[in-house]
Amino acid sequence: MINRNFTQTAPELHLISTSPMDIPKLLSVSLAALPYLDYIHVRDKQLTAKDQLEVIQRMLESGIPLGKIVVNDRLDVALATRVANLHLAGHSLPVDAARPLAGGIRLGRSVHSVEEAVKAAADGADYCLFGHVYDSSSKPGLPGRGLAMLTATANACPVPVMAIGGIHPEQTGEIIRCGAQGIAVITGLFQAPDPAEEAYAYRKAMQAAWLERR
């Protein structure tokens, strides 16, 4: 059953933490870009549940709102911290297994094809994160899946589709015009000389394309 409780009214900007985790860098970039960010993902396959709890506590102590924090992979950590957002990867619990336990948590799923996105939505995902769109330093040696596949996925999927992978501000407009309802970035902000200025550039480009599309 598709969960339609989360209506998309504006484009979303997601920040994904680096792996391995650099907590001081995560905090500094997140706080600098915070006015322009919708969500900040705590993602690192090497983190234990205890580690994730400690990272989230540091984020809260630094002033990052709980509602902007996304736990990746660990449903137990999401429930323990009472965050409103959980993102599942391919190695995580299946969406249909997590959905009954997650209650009102906003549940996302990483996908790499039209078929995966449609299934995730049918299983109860509230949004899908499609990637990687362009060649990305996070996926060395793997070519991007491209705008045509992003468009097909966004058109077929009944829940919002976010895009990830090598996206810079100058490419953000075409991503939104392809049907994506947001973007996620890693190096685009973590390697930016001025994360606040770069996040503003992403937000401005997204909003302009969103208004065109509407």
Q: What share of the chain is helix, strand, coil (3-state, %, to 5)?
A: 45, 15, 35
b/e code 162-195 from CB counts within 10 Å (16+ = b): bbbbbbbbebbbebbebbbbbbbbbebbbebeeb
Task: Find the farthest-apart pair of alpha carbons in the chain and give their distance in angstroms, rounded.
Answer: 44
> How many angstroms separate the CA atoms of 26 and 37, rounded?
13
Contact indicator for 133, 144 with CB cutoff of 8 Å = yes
Contact indicator for 185, 39 with CB cutoff of 8 Å = no
Sorted by sequence, the CB contacts under 8 Å of residue 140 that are 6+ apart come out as none
Active site residue 132: yes
Q: What backbone phi and psi angles, to 5 degrees, belong to 40?
A: -130, 120
**Which one from 14, 41, 87, 132 is the annotated catalytic residue?**
132
Contact indicator for 100, 85 with CB cutoff of 8 Å = no
Tokens of 188: 């685009």
Tokens of 100: 């009954």
Residues acting as catalytic residues: 132
